[in-house]
Amino acid sequence: MHHMTPNPFKGVITALVTPFSGGSIDEKAFAALIERQIAGDVHGLVPVGTTGETSTLSHDEHKRVVSLCVEMVAGRVPVIAGAGSNATDEAVDFVRHAKAAGADAALVVTPYYNRPSQEGLYQHYSAINDAVELPVFIYNVPSRTSVDITNDTLARLARLPNVIGVKDATGDMARASLQRRSCGEGWVMLSGDDPSALGYMAHGGHGCISVTANVAPAACSAFFNACLSGDWSTALVLQDRLVRLHRSLFLDASPAPTKFALAHLGLCHEEARLPIIPCAAAHHDEIIAAMGEAGVVR
């Protein structure tokens, strides 16, 4: 059973951007971003999630970023590799690669665009469970995928040995409480929505896969440490400091605002891959002001 060992997947786990330079992955910038994350005491890292522009990377690039991340982290924090696809065979291939590369777990989004049924979702994750012995997180983000995996389906999947938890980006707090009851001991619950992660933690969540931590790793780490220790008054103060930044990083198509913020800090280029374009200039002042509130810039 899952609950025999302590859960290593908790606190703030950064959904890393993939920096580009001249159309290619900027490996030097990526390495520096990872070191900054670890120096900021984040609790884990996710390469090639949505924020890592997985949808516009080639398969080779996707695998390269996972391998690079694992290599650079060198066991200092857990690495949860983005490994989703709307074709089950392709998802299995990415999860196999994540295991071979040495990732600690895989983050597998519900299949998008083709809108599978609940039974189809069950069979998708069941096939991954059977194919690869690696912990899997189910990523539920209906706003992006047009499909919502129900608590009933998650409860069925929670019984599979390799399916260990969820990244929930629905912002639905009651769902979290109900899921805690139905998925049982050892089910790991991570938020996928920075602004509402305070509520998610209070409803029994273990952590968050965070976009904002790209920009403010130390502040996000302090926030989740407060939540994990049950110091809700400190968490509330930190939430108030971070919420403007949480919001501002979605003023334009993600991860464009996050890449703008990182470029403003001199950490990587703003460059994204089409159809994502650099953050509109109209949002720059708001993002910088929000970074100021979060203590990232003076």
Please write the tens of the pLDDT for every residue from 235-268.
999 999 999 999 999 999 999 999 999 999 999 9
- Does pLDDT of 229 surpass 80? yes
| Among 24, 82, 25, CA closest to 55 | 82
Q: Quote the tokens at residue 203.
A: 């409803």
Q: For helices 88-101 and 118-131, give the axis angle rounded to 10 degrees.
A: 30
- Band (pLDDT 50/70/90 cuts) for residue 6 is confident
The whole-model pTM stands at 0.97
- Does pLDDT of 70 surpass 50? yes
pLDDT (0 to 100) of residue 4: 58
Q: What is the mean pLDDT of the segment spanning 133-161?
A: 97
Q: Quote the tokens at residue 235.
A: 């968490």
- Band (pLDDT 50/70/90 cuts) for residue 119 is very high
Helix and strand counts by DSSP (H, E) for the chain? 12, 10
**Taking a C-beta distance cutoff of 8 angstroms, is the pair 155, 185 a contact?**
no
- Per the DSSP assignment, residues forming a β-bridge with 189 are 166
- Does pLDDT of 282 surpass 60? yes
- Does pLDDT of 232 surpass 70? yes
Residues 45-70 as b/e (b if ≥16 CB within 10 A, e otherwise) read bbbbbbbbbbeebeeebbbbbbbbbb
- The rounded percent of the chain whose pLDDT value lies above 90 is 97
Ordered by where they begin, the domains of the chain are 8-230 (3.20.20.70)
Q: Using the 8-state DSSP alphabet, how is residue 9 labeled?
A: -
Report the mean per-residue pLDDT for the chain: 97
Q: What is the mean pLDDT of the segment spanning 7-36?
A: 98
- Band (pLDDT 50/70/90 cuts) for residue 1 is very low
Catalytic residue numbers, as ranges? 139, 167
Q: What is the mean pLDDT of the segment spanning 207-211?
A: 98
- Does pLDDT of 198 surpass 60? yes
